[in-house]
Amino acid sequence: MVTEGILTRILQHDPALENYGLVIFDEFHERNLNGDLGLALTLQTQALLRPELRVLVMSATLDGAPVAALLGDAPIVTSEGRSFPVETRWVPRRQDQRIEGAMAAAISDALERHDGDLLAFLPGAGEIHRTRELLAARPLTAHRSPLTDIIPLFGLLPQAEQDRALRPSPPGRRKVVLATSIAETSLTIEGVTIVVDSGLARVPRFNPGSGMTRLATVRVSRASADQRRGRAGRTAPGVCYRLWAQAEEPGLIPRATPEILEADLAPLALDLAAQGISDPATLRWLDPPPAGAFAQARELLTELGALDAAGAVTPHGRAMAELPVHPRLAHMLIASATTGDADLAASVAALLEDRDLLRGSGGPPDPDIELRLNALRDREPGPNVDRDTLRRVR
């Protein structure tokens, strides 16, 4: 059991996948960049080196026909499963209302009206923390919710805290799990019969002008909204509150845009170069990388010394591909070893790979990197330092 990124590393060292007879891609509807690359490389291995290698793609919501065609008209096996009926209620928030306030009000109302545990979907950790503070200030002491635990759930939480959200509630207690999209499909949360959906998600967006990726808050797709709604009917009949108007439903896009069409392709281009592939058109893709973005990625890799003038990977590029960070950071880390700055480079790379560990007071924090390096070194971090982020960076 590995992530798609680790699969790419395995293929770089063992292109024939000699030790494996079957590769399964689960939750493929998420269409992340590493998943698309892993499938393309695996299909190349199957075509050139291992015709007997079996490939299985699984998903709860993916349109199976295009994937089956990509796999050479592979058979589609469908399991309907069992789900309980889920009532949908639309409670659109006001134009001037922040999402945290609207979510806290909807959650409180749902707890009053219905039994069972509640799963709420918010776009990110910041909104989760602010909603949690609003709920903590509300009197959740009605007859239906005398003892309610409010538990956050997002990918960067320590494993023990994630496990707490997944465990069944003790007798006599209820729980409210405030989660990101991580809880859409990958995790099963025991006891949930109520879902409150903000209708928002946070996704990476690459800006070709700046060459940088930022996180953008977007409307969820129809498939994601239906997936979230279905979490209320896993073990019993349930209810789903949606914080938008029913008339807005047709305006939702059917499915989320595959990451490969909008992402920074420098990591993808480096992984392909390490495999000896300069033209992605030689591989089979569900959605091929956009030509302009891929050309820009190769131009960056040439500037970093990862590709030579002919476009072939260099020894420096191979060393960069071994490091599980963005090529810019990989170049910095390798170069720092020759200047005696490896400790500083590692600290800067760790800071840039994670969320900002400084929190602003009424506005964005000072962007000076030195402030973050000092916070990283301090034995007693100040009140404006996010402890969870500091722990991960260290």
Q: How confident is the model at residue 285 (pLDDT cuts 50, 70, 90)?
A: very high
What is the C-alpha separation between 4 and 296, in angstroms, rounded?
A: 24
What is the C-alpha separation between 270 and 273, in angstroms, rounded?
A: 5
Query: Beta partners for 178?
Result: 120, 152
* 17-74: pLDDT as tens digits: 999 999 999 989 889 999 999 999 999 999 999 999 999 999 877 888 999 999 999 9
84 Cβ neighbours under 8 A, 6+ residues apart:
233, 234, 235, 236, 237, 238
What is the C-alpha separation between 183 and 300, in angstroms, rounded?
A: 36
CA angle at 160 for the pair 155 and 161, rounded to the nearest 5°: 60
For residue 386, pLDDT beyond 50:
yes
What is the C-alpha separation between 216 and 123, in angstroms, rounded?
A: 10
Q: Are 162 and 190 in contact (CB under 8 A)?
A: no
pLDDT for position 186: 62
211 vs 52, residue with greater confidence: 52
What is the C-alpha separation between 17 and 1, in angstroms, rounded?
A: 14
E strand intervals along 74-190: 86-90, 117-121, 148-153, 174-179
12 vs 335, residue with greater confidence: 335
Residue 254 CB-half CA count within 13 A = 3
Average pLDDT (71-100) is: 92
Strand bridging mode 200-207 / 212-219: antiparallel
What does pTM read for this prediction? 0.84
For residue 140, pLDDT beyond 70:
no
Task: Count CB atoms within 10 A of the CB of residue 257.
Answer: 15
For residue 144, pLDDT beyond 70:
no
The DSSP result for 17-86, as a single string, is: -TT-SEEEE-SGGG--HHHHHHHHHHHHHHHHT-TT-EEEE--SS--HHHHHHHTTS------------E
For residue 381, pLDDT beyond 50:
yes
Per DSSP, 183 falls in state G
pLDDT for position 114: 94
pLDDT for position 10: 93
pLDDT for position 146: 54
Q: Taking all residues of the chain, what is their mean pLDDT, rounded to a whole number?
A: 91
* 291-308: pLDDT as tens digits: 999 999 999 999 999 999
Query: Beta partners for 152?
Result: 178
Q: How confident is the model at residue 198 (pLDDT cuts 50, 70, 90)?
A: very high
pLDDT for position 382: 86
The residue type found at 359 is R
Average pLDDT (320-335) is: 95
Average pLDDT (170-175) is: 88
Sole residue written with tokens 């490969």: 260
The DSSP result for 222-244, as a single string, is: HHHHHHHHHGGGSSS-EEEEESS
Q: Which of 228, 131, 127 is nearest to 182 (CA)?
A: 228
In the three-class reduction of DSSP (H, G, I as helix; E, B as strand; rest coil), residue 214 is classed as strand
246 Cβ neighbours under 8 A, 6+ residues apart:
90
CA distance between the termini of the chain: 27
For the record, the structure tokens of 212 come out as 């940088």
What is the C-alpha separation between 291 and 220, in angstroms, rounded?
A: 27
For the record, the structure tokens of 115 come out as 């039994």
For the chain, give the percent of residues with pLDDT over 70.
97
